[in-house]
Structures are given as C-alpha cells and as structure tokens.
Amino acid sequence: MTIRIAKMAKRLAVATAVMAFAGIAGAVEPIKIGVSGPFTGGSSSMGVSMRDGVKLAAEEINKAGGVLGRPLQLIERDDEAKNERGVQIAQELINKEKVVATVGFINTGVALASQRFYQEAKIPVMNNVATGSIVTHQFDDQPENYIFRNAAHDSIQAPMIVEEAITRRGFKKVAILADSTNYGQLGREDLERALGQKNIKPVAVEKFNVKDVDMTAQLLKAKAAGAEVILTYAIGPELAQIANGMTKLGWKVPMIGSWTLSMANFIDNAGPGGEGARMPQTFIQEPTTPKRQSFIISYLRTFNPKNARIDSPVSAAQGYDSVYLLAAAINQAKATDGPAIRAALEDLKTPVDGVVTTYKKPFTAKDHEAITANIPVFGEVKGEKVVYAYEADQKKASEVRVKDVNAKGALDVKKK
C-alpha cells in the first residue's frame, strides 16, 4: 500500500510539474516590440526621450495585464543615427528577435534605409519621431503599406514655419540653414515650396554637416544678403552652433525652425543665444490635461531628468503614444501577425487616449499619418525650457486637438 501511494504521489508530482511548466510557458510568452533609435550621439536627446516614453507605456500596459494576456517585451537597439546601423538592426529584429512590430526611428535617413526590410517582411513600423514627408509614402506603389506615423511630418511643419515668419511676424528676407542629412535637405525642400506659395524666395540657402562647429561662413552669407530671420532644419548640437555663431558675430536675428529647436542639447548649448527660438510642437511639457499631467508625473518620477525637464518632450510623448496605438491594434486583431496588426491599425474601432491627442480613427488604408495640420502649436524657448509661444494656444491647451483630414495648411506630399 505504501509503495502504491508513493508511486501515485510521484505521478501526481510529475503531472503537476508538467502542467505548471506549460502554464508558465504560456503565461510568459512575450509579444516582442522592437525599439530602434539613437541612444548615443547628437540625436540621443530625442532617442533616449522616445525610448523612455516607450518604456513607460509598456510598463503601464504590462501592469494592467498586458496585451492578449501576454506581456510586451521591448527589444531596444541603438542605431546611432547611422543608416547602415539601422539596416543591420532591422534585419536582426526581424530575423533573430522575431518582433511583431517596431517603434522608433528618429532620423529620416535611417527610417528610409531601414523600413524597407519591415515592408518586405510585412511587419508594421510606427514612426514616432522621424518627420521626413516621404517616410510613410515610400511604398505607395505597393498594395499594402506597413509604415505608419504619429509625428507631425515636415509637410505640416514647413508651412507652419513660413506662416510664422512671413505672415505673423512680417519678415520679407529669409535665410535657410539646413544640415546635409536627408532630414535637413528634405525639410529644406519643403521650406522652399512653402515659401514659394507666398511668392517668397530665400535670400540665402546654406548647408552644413552634422558635427560642424563653426557656422561663421554660412551666417556671414545670410547677413550679407540682408536676412531678417533664419529658418532651420537640423538637430540640437548644430542648431546651437548657429545661435552661438550669431552671438560671436554680434548679429542676432530670430530663429524659427522645425520641432528640433526644442531639444535639450540646443537649449543648453545655445544658452541665452537660444532664447526666443520658435518651433512647431505636438506636445509641450505642461500638465494641460489629466492625461498629460499623469504622463509628466510618471516620466519625471521614473527617469528623473535634469532640472525636471524632459530632454525632448515631443519624442517622449509620441514614443509613449505609439505603444498604446500598437497595443490597441493587437488587442483588436486578437493576433500578432503583421497583416492582422496592419489591418487593425487602418481601422481602429476604439479611440486611444494619448498624450498628444485622442486618436479617433487615426489611420486608414490610404492615410498612415495620425497627425494633421490642426494639431501642432508653436513653442518658444524661454527660461531654458519650451513654453507656448502664443497665449491663445495656452488658454486652449486643455481642449484636445484631434485629427482633422480637412485641416488646411499642409503641403501635398511630393512623391519621390
């Protein structure tokens, strides 16, 4: 009897162990999401802020039970803002890590070089920072497009910049200073098109390279041409060199440029020379809605950034929202294969309450842009942070601006 009881107990123990193992394996099988961005180098102000926003969202989702009862697992890779590195990472995330989607891409050039691999593999990409107008249109000639975005593309930003300079502030002579990357030169093209719509030709168009530390030659040409304002398309470190260069020359005109004038490494490196710079923003670090307040409090408590200021608030907010958009699509699809997620993104049934906006039907099969021209506002560098440039925008900041496909102001995207 004792032997029989011992054998039965042993069988029960083995069966329990097998069941427990199966249960654990099923319970912890994660949904892998790639996170690709520059976490070192000159673009890291944007990349780290984006990554931290993504991590915050994933942590919240996992605490609430995950997606389809499974935890999200972030597979982070530093693309160093290099096209070739981005390509390597895309292949690794697809073939080795088996991600179901990827969020990120800070630099337009890296996005354009890398996302073709996701398109071929039918794996969705949620561009949450890269703003080159062509990014979501790279595969317009294909029957299905796996590239989405929840950032304000340059065909929205360029007309805003021109409207601010020409119409609101009355400048007639403008100079354009843009870096030599895809981001800078595609943005420069959009600026020139937007200026052309107002019959304005820039008095100077100057180019510089990433890591250049002396903008004297470009600034002297702009000054000699009589420029009253400088329009910019570049990232923080080089933008700071423009501001510092003007200070050294004793020549100060306003800087109005793309959203990257809000980067901490522009504000900190430019110091007083950066005060007054203006730029389009989808998010300004002020608790203007309950969702934004909760996000800011959680971000500051979790990551403790210097001076309680998010290095790149726009990148952090859009990174955070991108994960919730993907989670909503996976939940709706009840599946993690790429075509199912893409189809769900193109027809989201339930609004997603984000930091930037409430996403109501953010995408369709023909429209993979979540942000329209009515959503961004102008920010201004003041007291070493970005604030609302216009009191009217701040007063209405608690009113969430939602997507409006009929919003005026964006350029038609120029197909390449």
Mean pLDDT of 240-262: 97
* Residues 185-195: tens digit of each pLDDT: 999 999 999 99
Domain boundaries, the chain: 28-152+289-371, 156-281+379-384
Closest C-alpha among 179, 172, 223 to residue 201: 172
User: What is the model's pTM?
Assistant: 0.92
**Is 403 within 8 Å of 360 (Cβ atoms)?**
yes
Say yes or no: domain 28-152+289-371 is CATH 1.10.10.350. no
Residue 261 in this model has a pLDDT that exceeds 70: yes
Instruction: Reply yes or no on whether the pLDDT at 12 is more than 60.
Output: no
DSSP-assigned letter for residue 139: T
**Per-residue pLDDT at 4 exceeds 90:** no
CB 85 within 8 A of CB 41: no
Of the CATH numbers 3.40.50.2300, 3.90.420.10, 3.40.640.10, 1.10.357.10, which one belongs to the domain with range 156-281+379-384? 3.40.50.2300
Q: Check residue 414 and give its pLDDT.
A: 59
- pLDDT for 28-87, tens place per residue? 699 999 999 999 999 999 999 999 999 999 999 999 999 999 999 999 999 999 999 999
Q: Which pLDDT score, from 0 to 100, does residue 416 have?
A: 47
Dihedral over Cα of 91, 96, 100, 103: its sign: negative
- Supply φ then ψ for residue 345, to 5 degrees: -60, -35
264-to-207, 249, 315 alpha-carbon distances in Å: 22, 24, 12
Residue 413 is predicted with a pLDDT of 73
What is the DSSP track for 44-69?
HHHHHHHHHHHHHHHHHHHHTT-BTT
Distance (Å, rounded) from C-alpha 330 to C-alpha 298? 25
- Locus of tokens 């995207």: 413
Predicted confidence at residue 9, as pLDDT, reads: 45
Q: Is the pLDDT of residue 24 over 80?
A: no
> What single-letter amino acid sits at 239?
L
User: Which pLDDT value is given to residue 5?
Assistant: 44
pLDDT one-digit tens code per residue, 145-155:
999 999 999 99
Distance (Å, rounded) from C-alpha 404 to C-alpha 371? 8
Phi/psi of residue 231, nearest 5 degrees: -100, 135
Phi, psi of 414, deg, nearest 5:
-80, 115
Identity at 306, one-letter amino acid code: K
pLDDT, position 409: 87
Task: Express each pLDDT in 358-412 by its tens digit.
Answer: 999 999 999 999 999 999 999 999 999 999 999 999 999 999 999 999 999 889 8
Listed residue (297, 259, 283, 316) closest to 397, CA to CA = 283
- From CA 386, how far away is CA 275, in angstroms rounded? 10
Pairwise pLDDT comparison (19 vs 326), residue with the higher score: 326
Question: Six-digit token pair at 328?
Answer: 């909503």
How far is it, in rounded angstroms, from Cα 45 to Cα 310? 9
Structure-block tokens of residue 251: 């020549």
Q: Give the contacts of 335 (CB within 8 A, at least 6 positions apart).
A: 341
Average pLDDT over the chain reads 93
Tell me the torsion sign for CA atoms 336, 52, 297, 315.
negative
Interval 93-120: pLDDT, tens: 999 999 999 999 999 999 999 999 999 9
Same fold yes or no, 28-152+289-371 and 156-281+379-384: yes
Q: Which residues pair with 388 in a beta bridge?
A: 379
Strand pairing partners for 380?
A: 278, 387
